[in-house]
Amino acid sequence: MAHVIAIQGIHGGSGATSICAGLAVALNELGHRTLALDFCENNHLGQLFGLAPDHTAGLLQAVVAGTLQDYLLESAEGYPFLPFGRLPRAQQTDVLAVLPTVLESLFAPLLAMNERIVLIDLSSVPTLWHSWVYQHAAVVLNVLQPEPRLVNGLLRYAEYQRVDQETAGALSMVLVNGIAPHLDLTRDSVLYLKAQLHTDSLVPVMIFRDQHVSEAFALQQPLRTFQSQSYAAQNFDTLAIWLCRTLADLPTKVRS
Amino acid sequence: MNQWQQARRELSVTQALLHLMSLYLEITLLNTRLSKDANDDRAQQLRFWFPHVNFSKLRILDLLRIPLQVLWLMFFRFQVAGVVAEPPRAASYQKQLFKKQSQITSWLSAKWRLVIKPFYEAKAVNIIRAFGDVTRYGWLNTALLRILFTILAALLVAFTVTLPLDAAGQAIMLLFFWVIAVWVRDVQRRGALLMMVVLSIVVSTRYLYWRVTSTINWDDAIDTLFSMVLLCAEVYAWLILVLGYVQTIWPLSRKVAALPTDTSIWPSVDIYIPSYNEPLYVVRPTVLAALAIDWPKDKLNVYLLDDGRRTEFAEFAASIGAGYIIRKDNSHAKAGNLNHALKVTQGDYIAIFDCDHIPTRSFLQLTMGWFAQEPKLALVQTPHHFFSQDPFEKNLSVFRSKPNEGELFYGLIQDGNDMWNSSFFCGSCAVLKRGPLEEVGGVATETVTEDAHTALKMHRLGYTSAYLNIPQAAGLATESLSAHIGQRIRWARGMAQIFRLDNPLFGKGLSFAQRICYSNAMLYFLNGLPRLIFILAPLAFLLLHSYIVFAPAIMIALYAAPHIVHSYMTSSRTQGKFRHSFWAEMYETVLAWYIMRPTLVALFAPRRGKFNVTAKGGFTPKAYFDWSVSTPYIVLVALCLFGFGFGVWRLITGPTEEYLTVILNLVWVIYNLIILGGAVAVAEEAKQVRVAHRVKVKQRSVAIITQSEHVYEAQLIDYSDRGIGLQVKDTQRIKLDDKIRVVMKDGTTDFAFNATIVSCRGTLVGALLQVNSVAEQQALLRATFSRADAWVGWRHDDYLDRPMTGFSEVVLIGLRGYRRLLLQITPKMEPVLRVLAKCCRFIRSLLPHVPGEKVSNV
């Protein structure tokens, strides 16, 4: 059975997509066969693996076709991923409506494979397929930036996402992205976060705010390819190791 | 021909000839292929077996070196891990030849290593375990039987000590003892150590008994006098040896005791930082770090006790929220300063730090636990740890590679004292309970070592003390030999004063063990005179022809040698991790002359003398030789050399029956000369250019943020209070004068410090930190000097001392000392010395080398 990890922003622009891509690359480099899936309508993930913005095929088309076969892609470095895809407006609404119903049959063969890790990038805004992902996910990483938005975000998270994720049997954790220790505000935000959250629900690895991340995005390259020495890339490596360790400790998820 | 021309281009005629011949021989004899690939491989192989021969540039004497090495490899080669096991790839004729030969020797040595030695060691362990297993004969443990056994053992020892034997009998008996000691030497069990100690005491006592009963020369008044003087020194040495064994036989190795989980019931603590004339930059980090100690803020008060009454100190204390206490006069120096503060503060406990000892943030949480466990506890002491080099480490350049001078005391002796509830206060890095301290009238003011005296007074009242052997504060070591000597003079004088004014052997309240530990601590400092006597003793015979040990030389050797061997072997076993053998001799010899007078004065007139402050935090702009300090040693060296010359003259012209006596004395003089050489070597003050000492660290990664907000990883190499050294992966991204931010961990949070790149050498980058606000300074301290684990791993716990290695270290240091001394007297000697050194290197280059050894200059 494949391990499913969902990554979702607590608020918009938290960098969940970057983390999904960075983590997928780091896990692959560690030797774990990892697939990154874009479940977010922004359709950004592909760009982080070098996909041209005018490439429209992806999950949506796979739903129409009823198979993943021709829509799973591989980056130039060999990292597998599935973009969300883009359809004309009229068609998209219909496809989105059927999407939650076909997910199970579409991904069943993939999820049945052993020793695979599947990373799913979820939007911060709830959609119809969130609950399907929670059902399958072993871990959900809820990403936030250390800035004032986190206060409201956390309240919402405690009220909705965490309850949903935990009822679905997933391990719900908060991951901080964009640490900038030279700014008092980020330092204070982290202190606030530590005071509010139990240590067990905060991922001990934090991702630094590193200009390399934005630059890699702009160049449409995985961060590791753009600058493997960058600190953020090393943060992703550490996060990957932490994740493997956590997965090893988790009991295997029994699906309903 | 082509090859010849090529060779001639670089080499002389003979060298080229040799080179080509060797090439030819290699091809014909070793049957190697000449492809480029194989060529490299073979060169590496030959280079491995002949590390001191450069095959691409052979020299004439290599004709001697190669056969010597081959012979040595054949007969004495030890197994080199990983290399011999390799299957023979190129079937080389020569290699196979010596392989077969060496198989026998390596088989023997392997047998010894893997079978014989472990067998006997396991035997020893079993016997000792059987002795230690008391459960089976627990019924024996009654008072009566214990007394009976003690009497029996005492009788046995008395018999062994007094048994008169002839030379052969004595030799056999001591050989037997020696074999037992060697047998159990490596057995890591307390029983083995006890056995070695008992053997050492028996042998030494037997020696002393023999000395007292049958070696005093009563014939001649002068001889008798010398004889008695030497005997007194030997009795003193024996006493210190035995007391030392008792003191360190069973170190307690106390662990940290947990504090109550409810922080509201933690007691309040006052931290005193006394200062007199130290500059503010030395005191500042200590006060800041003290304020940053992890303890409830409302229960922690830091006071700067300024006997210098400086306005800048008052302003500094006010600006960071520390208390500032001054008094009208400076009576009783540090002790008076502390006592004055004791009157004006109210904390339940008092932690004291010298103004240069930077505490770690965990100091109180680790030390305070024991007070909750033991209601009678009055003192918890932690080691004094130094992050700068002491004069020995600096001038002999052995920083962090050998245990330093203080390690014996703080690593072993205090821990041993703790077993007997007699670890004492050392003036800094300690916590005292207010009640008991006030009961003894505050810090003692009668002597100049107020710390030990205060602890003694508290012990007399029945309070207990604890020693926690975890460095939780670090400071600056004394910066020069003269300062070091000054400090030790104070300690020696103070200890002698206590011995006179408040003798631990007498008076109320102490247990027998406490009396022993305290008197050993005090008597130890009287070693000045005895040591000088030992240095001068052989001269009595060599110069004055006085028989101070009136016995045949063979008997002297048979009695004295085992005494010396056993005491070195046992000391090496008990304290080898904390002080290498023979280094103690050097440390003590340096001080001997200087502490002799103050201790004698203090013994006879204990109230004289004043407190002197140890200078710290300075620098030595250039290397120099401290003549004034080393004068006594140079005189002693001259005397010894004179005696040595006389001895040689006696050897040539004297009667034959005196040969052995002369040789014995010559050996003694040579030994003294070696130790004195060490003392001389320390007197050359090495350069110390940085005022701020750099502390080296391993395996600590930090992040650096460039101005463009790019973040990279770097390794922290070293730090001081204002600068850091970093190792970066890519040199392209960091330029000189760049402004960067360095992210370090302050506990669990990340803290970024502004820094400017001031040096770039390859991947090594030096940065100057700009820390301005108090919060930043405290964060920096918590990330560096006062990290809870800042001083973990500074001790070499895994080191197994061997007396002979210690001896060779001291010999080398002694030789270096004489070379420096000669150069100081006549710089013209330099060419001569250089030639001598060259000769030594040349001879060394002829001798065989261990395969794979790194040899420079080939």
Share of chain B above pLDDT 70, in %: 85
Q: What is the ipTM of this complex?
A: 0.89
In tens, the pLDDT along B477-504 reads: 888 888 888 888 889 999 999 999 999 9
Q: Which of B207, B224, B206 is nearest to B216 (CA)?
A: B224
State mean pLDDT over B288-308: 94
In tens, the pLDDT along B616-665 reads: 545 555 667 777 778 888 899 999 999 999 999 988 887 888 888 888 89
Which DSSP state fits B773?
A: S
Distance (Å) from the alpha carbon of A232 to chain B's nearest alpha carbon: 7
Which of A231, A234, A237 is the best substitution to test chain B (most B C-beta atoms within 10 A)?
A231
Q: Which one from B62, B354, B418, B451 is the annotated catalytic residue?
A: B451
pLDDT at residue A256 in the model: 40
Q: How far is residue B141's CA from residue B557's CA, in Å, rounded to a whole number?
A: 42
Helix (H) or strand (E) holding B757: strand B749-761
Residue B844 pLDDT > 50: yes
State mean pLDDT over B389-409: 81
Residue B86 pLDDT > 70: no
Residue B518 pLDDT > 60: yes
Residue B678 tokens, joined? 């060490």
pLDDT at residue B657 in the model: 80
pLDDT at residue B799 in the model: 62
pLDDT tier at B289 (50, 70, 90 boundaries)?
A: very high
Query: For chains A and B, what is the number of CB pairs under 8 angstroms?
Result: 47
Residue B814 tokens, joined? 């002694």
Asked if B825 and B596 touch (Cβ cutoff 8 Å), the reply is: no
Other C-beta atoms within 10 Å of A205: how many? Answer: 16
Which DSSP state fits B116?
A: I
Other C-beta atoms within 10 Å of B576: how many? Answer: 20
Range 752-791 of B in CB contact (< 8 A) with A: 752, 754
- In order, the DSSP letters of B780-801 are HHHHTTT-TTTTTT-S-TT---
Residue B856 tokens, joined? 């420079």
Q: How far is residue B318's CA from residue B323's CA, in Å, rounded to a whole number?
A: 7
User: A180 to chain B: which residues are within 8 Å by CB?
Assistant: 705, 752
A208/B751 touch (CB, cutoff 8 Å), yes or no? no
Q: Is A174 helix (H, G, I), strand (E, B) or coil?
A: strand
Weakest mean pLDDT among B26-35, B109-118, B161-170: B26-35
User: B751 to chain A: which residues are within 8 Å by CB?
Assistant: 181, 187
Residue A17 pLDDT > 90: yes
State mean pLDDT over B549-570: 88
Provide the pairing of β-strand A80-82 with A171-179. Answer: unpaired
Range 213-242 of B in CB contact (< 8 A) with A: none
User: A234 to chain B: which residues are within 8 Å by CB?
Assistant: 713
Distance (Å) from the alpha carbon of B42 to chain A's nearest alpha carbon: 38
Residue B678 pLDDT > 90: no
User: A208 to chain B: which residues are within 8 Å by CB?
Assistant: 703, 711, 743
Which residue matches tokens 């029983």? B191
Q: Which residue of B has its CA nearest to A180?
A: B752
pLDDT at residue B42 in the model: 47
Q: How far is residue B828's CA from residue A111's CA, in Å, rounded to a whole number?
A: 85
For residue B687, report the phi and psi dihedrals to the nearest 5 degrees.
-65, 140
Range 697-716 of B in CB contact (< 8 A) with A: 703, 705, 708-713
Residue B343 pLDDT > 90: yes
Distance (Å) from the alpha carbon of B772 to chain A's nearest alpha carbon: 14
The reply to whether B270 belongs to the active site is: no
Q: How far is residue B238's CA from residue B520's CA, in Å, rounded to a whole number?
A: 12
Instruction: Please state whether B699 falls in left (phi above 0), alpha (psi between -120 and 50) or beta.
Output: left
Which residue matches tokens 């007691």? B267
pLDDT at residue B80 in the model: 43
For residue B756, report the phi and psi dihedrals to the nearest 5 degrees.
-120, 135
Of B711, B748, B751, the CB nearest to A231: B711
Q: Which residue of B has its CA nearest to A229?
A: B712
pLDDT at residue B79 in the model: 43
Residue type, B634: I
pLDDT at residue B37 in the model: 45
The reply to whether B307 belongs to the active site is: yes
Of A179, A211, A229, the CB nearest to B729: A229
Distance (Å) from the alpha carbon of B793 to chain A's nearest alpha carbon: 26
Weakest mean pLDDT among A98-112, B26-40, B283-297, B624-638: B26-40
B135/B208: higher pLDDT: B208
Q: Which residue of A has its CA nearest to B752?
A: A182
In tens, the pLDDT along A207-255 reads: 999 999 999 999 999 999 999 889 999 999 999 999 999 998 887 655 4
Which of B707, B726, B750 is the best substitution to test chain A (most A C-beta atoms within 10 A)?
B750
Distance (Å) from the alpha carbon of A227 to chain B's nearest alpha carbon: 10
User: B712 to chain A: which residues are within 8 Å by CB?
Assistant: 229-231
Q: Is B587 helix (H, G, I), strand (E, B) or coil?
A: helix
Taking any CB pair shorter than 8 Å as contact, residues of chain A touching chain B are 179-182, 187, 190-191, 194, 208-212, 229-232, 234
